[in-house]
Structure formats: C-alpha cells, structure tokens
Structure 1
Amino acid sequence: MKWMRSLAQGLLALWMFTAGLAHAAPQGEYVLGSGDIIKIQVYQNPDLSLETRILEGGGFSYPLLGTVKVAGLTVSQAEKKLADALRDGNFLKQPQVSVLVTQIRGNLVSVLGLVGRPGRYPLDQANIKLSEIIAQAGGMVTGSASDTVVLMGARDGKPFRKEIDFAAIFESNANVDDPVLQNEDIVYVDRAPIIYFYGEVQRPGAMRLERDMTLMQALAASGGINQRGTEKGIRVNRRDASGKVQVLTLGMQDKLQKDDVVYVRESLF
C-alpha cells in the first residue's frame, strides 16, 4: 500500500507541476506571424498531421477545416483553435493538437547601424525588449556608437518613431522605459556625436562628444592648450536650427553640442 500511496503522491506532484507550467507559459509564448513554418500533429490521427507555412493573409489550408487563420495567436491559442474546430465539426471527439514552430519568419525586427551584428532578428517570444535585441545583435560598437537609439515602426496602425536614451535605461533612478518591440520594428544605432578642435591644442581634430561634456572637459581630452595657445578668446562655431553658423564665447563649464567646432587662438604674447 505504501508504494501505491507514493505513486499517487508522485502523480499528483507531476500533475501540479505540469499544470503550473501550462498556466505560466502564455506570458512569454511566441506569437505566430505570416511567414512562420509550423508543424501540426494530432494525437492518433497521422492523416491530420501537417507542416505548412502561414500565408500573408495570416492563415493556412488544413484538411477538413479549409483555411484557418492563426497569425496573431500564441502557439497554445492556435492549438486550442484547431482542436475546437475539429471537435465542433464532429470530426474528432477529443482531439489533442500540438503546434510546433519549425522556422520563425513572421515576427522579425531589423537592427541597423553601429552594432556588432546588424541584421534581422526574430521575436521568438512575447514581450522582447529593446535591450534584449541589442544584446542579440552583439551590443553597440564601443567608442563609436551613440547613446541614443532610434526605434521606428507602427503602433495602432500609425507610423511610430522614438529616440531612446539607451544608457539611461540602466541607471538606478532612470525614468526611461525599455520598450517592448513589435513585428517589423526597425532599431537604428547612429554614430556617436562628434565635436571638432582646431587651433592651438595638443591634438586637433574630431572627438567623440561624451554625455554632458563641458568645454573644459573637452579641452582636457584633446590634450589641453599647447604652449602657443591661450584660454582667452576661445570661440565655438555652432549651427542654429536654420543652419546658420554662430560664433559663441562659452565658459569653461558650459556644455558643448553635437558638431560644435572649437577654435583655440594663438597667444599674442
């Protein structure tokens, strides 16, 4: 009797475990899309087994049922839809249907720009976030990529574009969301903003503009003013919104902007 009690307890524990998995799975389950290739199997009914591609309209042709639309459904929802249709059509009494995604082609995002591996990446589960796709693409190119990521796509049938301060997502007190991606989104990582030095500095030329970089910090990064230069009369050439170049005199603690050109004059004495 003890072994029967142990067996019953084991079966109960197994049932509770599998039931828990079935309840939790839909939270991150893959959503089917046009172009996906799926394999359908019906228990003890090999004639109803099928491997097919979901067409552009979101459906596929299935024996006895005709066209079945599954795009936009999770795998478990598609399984239930097929089982219900087979039962309601009086084809099978208690159909047990399994759906396996063999090739993911329906839900893809494009990652472009300065990442390790630009390309098309599948949304192989629900609620994949921007940071996860950037990681799959090899991360941003160190030293060259901008902190700002552009996300483009469609939301509610309307064009969508958003610039995201990617670095701020990971700050402890950040109020920047890590957005969830959708099918056909485009993620673009631009080149980091640049400023330019010329005149009497140790290392004239282009330089990456760091976040909140001041004139003093930029001068230090350029090696500082050389022996012929002077802090007096430093000028910053900056384009305004109309594209016109303005010549500004900034303080050492003033912040520089993208494409600023800093000119350090020669000392007269």
Structure 2
Amino acid sequence: MQEFRFERKNWAIPALAGLLALTSWTAMAQGNAPPRVGGTSTFDSPGANEGQGANNRRRLTTLTPVPEDFSNLKLSPGFLLSMDVYDAPELSTDLRIDTQGNVVVPMVGSVHIQGETMTEAAASIGQRLKDGKILNNPQVNLNITQYSGQNVSVLGEVHTPGRIELLAPHSLDDVIALAGGETELAGNTIEIRHATGVTPQKETIHFSRSSDDPTMNDVSVRPGDTVTVRRAGVVYVLGGVTRPGGYVMQEGGELDVAQALSLAYGTTMGAAVGSMRIIRKLPDGKVQEIPVAYRDIEKGKAPAPRLQAEDLLYVPISKVKTVLTTSLLSATSSAALYVYH
C-alpha cells in the first residue's frame, strides 16, 4: 500500500489522543498571456507548414498550438492574417476578419471565410482571384499573425489551476495534463461546462484511474469550456485507533468500516469497540449517529457498514466516558489526511 501523507497538527482534544487536522483549500483560477501563434496555408498545396510542436504540456498552463490545431482550426472574427500571393506582390496584404466573418481582398472585395480552415480560406480567396480573371493560377499563402482564441478554465484538484488558451478541441486528458495533472486529492468525477449555445451545458464524467480506461481520451474539451476536477470524498477515523485521521476515498469512493479500521492500523488496547459508531452529517444539517456492531463484524455475523463521504467513524477510548458529538465533528477540521493506493 503506497501512502501519501499530508500535514499533521497538534491534537485538539487531549482525551481523544489522535484527533488530527484536515486543511481545506480552494483552487483559484489565474489568467495567462496567450502564446504567439504561427502557421501557414497555401492554395495550391494544402496543409503545408502548419504550426510547430507543443512544449512539455505537463509544465504549462498556456497551450502552445500543435500541428493538428492548425489543420482543424476554424477561422473566426478577430483573426489577423498575412496574405502573400505568388508572383503578385501588389496583392499581398494583411487581412482582418471582421465581425461578419469577411476579409477584404484587393481587386476582389469581400470574401467570407469564417468557419473555414486556413487551407480552405486560401482556396476560397484563390478561387475568387481566378473567377475574377485577375490571375490564371493564383497561389495564395496565408499566415496567422494574430488570433482570437478562447480560454478553457481548469479548476479544482489540479496542480496549476487557471486558464488555458485553446485553438481547437482537445482530449480531456490533454487539458488536465496542461493544468499540471491531478493532485492526490482528486476524485473520479470531472465536470465539464460546455459554452455552446445560449445556456451552458453541464457534462459529468465518471472514470476509473486504471490504465485501460479510455474515458479521458474519448471526452473532448472545446474552447470556452470550464473543467472542474472534483475532490475525492474523505472519511475520518478517530479515537482509539493506531493512526487516526482522514482517508481519501478513491477508485469509486467505496469504503466500509472494516477497511477504514484497517487503514487506521486497527484499534488500540484501550479502545471500547463495543461503543463504536458512525457520525454522519445529513443534507438537512442534522447529525445522525449509527451504532456499529463491531464484535458481530469480527465474527462474520454481520456485514461491515459502508461509509459515505465525510463520515466520521469514532472508536471511544475506555477511559473517556462521554464526548460531545459536536467536539468530534469539529476535530475533523484538523485531522491528518492520508491518501492510499
């Protein structure tokens, strides 16, 4: 069992030796300057010289476009293009795509290229030059000098939360990697809020961390989306156990009483296992106490109850006659946190 341990604070309740701290934090999204973009398309040779390779994606929070970005990139208003026409330097100029998706080409006029790739746009302009009998065999070369990209916000349990500049759709796995990868507290649920249409659409992804699960590569993230990596559930085991603290529920979030006690290295000599109980916060704010028939579980006469996220499994110490439930719940806010694999 590989173990990752987070900070441990002083025990707040002397009678419950072992009540420890779980420190919570909130990931804040921070903006990054957009990268400089390069890439060309030629009317008579589609796909030439399209971009440069990406840098180490796990170290960046701003995406450097890779070749397939330019082959699939759809032009939109705001892009600034540099146009060169072979053997016709008088036609070479800069073209800004206006709000209607048009560019004004010398001797041709307005050409609509919104939604086209650079290869398609070069072909459209070249065809207009040919149709207008301006050139017999126009060879148009387009280069992006400025682009109008959109951010993807990556929030939650990633190492470098913030905004990533995307030109084209990418797999969810790539986007998470660009945000530095998941933290040890990341759960198995990721939410994607797609920025398509008037009302954003929310998609919830449940996946396994096993290497043969293709979910992360199958899911597409598009410019304008927001990705949130949810934190895994945590259960707390406090009181008369060898290693009290919080334990992250990974791989489906299932953990029962017996497994939780095993992770806490079992009960201590002074543990009153007959008084063991689960303390659970209900959605309405009330607290429910569930007795655990530990002796029956040991003898195989009863199944081990399953725990839910934020449950507290409390094992009283024989010397401690009464402990307020509110004191126990407050102790979880400063409990050591363990991640197991």
User: What's the TM-score, normalizing by structure 2?
Assistant: 0.60
Shift of 1:185: 0.5
Shift of 1:184: 0.2
Please name the residue that 2:323 is paired with. Answer: none
Q: Give deviations 1:30-88, integer Å, cap 9, x for gaps.
A: 22334444332222222333345545554444434555443422222222222223333
Matched residue SS, 2:259:
helix
Please list, as runs of the form range in 1=range in 2, the aligned pairs for 1:120-269 lying within 5 A after superposition.
Answer: 120-125=163-168, 127-141=169-183, 143-167=184-208, 172=212, 178-211=218-251, 212-249=254-291, 253-267=304-318
Greater relative contact order: 1 or 2 (C-alpha under 8 angstroms, separation 6 or more)?
A: 2
- The letter of the residue matching 1:264 is V
Matched residue SS, 2:275:
coil
Shift of 1:26: 9.9
Distance 1:222 1:198 in 2: 9
- The letter of the residue matching 1:138 is G
Shift of 1:224: 2.2
Please list, as runs of the form range in 1=range in 2, the aligned pairs for 1:44-55 lying within 5 A after superposition.
Answer: 44-55=87-98
Shift of 1:190: 3.0
> Where do 5+ consecutive residues of structure 2 fail to align?
1-44, 50-67, 298-302, 320-341
Please name the residue that 2:125 is paired with. Answer: 82
Alpha-carbon distance change, 29 to 201 in structure 1, aligned in 2, over 3 angstroms: same
Matched residue SS, 1:232:
helix
Alpha-carbon distance change, 145 to 118 in structure 1, aligned in 2, over 3 angstroms: same
Distance 2:179 2:216 in 1: 21
Number of residue pairs aligned between Structure 1 and Structure 2: 247
- Counting aligned pairs with the same residue, the percent is 31
31-40 or 92-101, which deviates more: 31-40
1:94 aligns with 2:145: no
Please name the residue that 1:7 is paired with. Answer: none
State whether residues 240 and 246 of structure 1, in contact with CA within 8 Å, keep that contact through their aligned partners in structure 2: yes
Shift of 1:248: 2.5
Shift of 1:140: 0.9
Alpha-carbon distance change, 49 to 256 in structure 1, aligned in 2, over 3 angstroms: farther
Matched residue SS, 1:77:
helix
Alpha-carbon distance change, 239 to 166 in structure 1, aligned in 2, over 3 angstroms: same
Aligned-pair Cα RMSD in Å: 3.5
- The letter of the residue matching 2:127 is D
Please name the residue that 1:29 is paired with. Answer: 72
Matched residue SS, 2:267:
coil
234-243 or 173-182, which deviates more: 173-182
Runs of 4 or more consecutive aligned structure 1 residues displaced over 6 Å after TM superposition: 18-22, 173-177
- The letter of the residue matching 2:188 is D
Distance 1:153 1:232 in 2: 51
219-228 or 49-58, which deviates more: 49-58
Higher helix fraction: Structure 1 or Structure 2?
1
User: What's the TM-score, normalizing by structure 1?
Assistant: 0.74
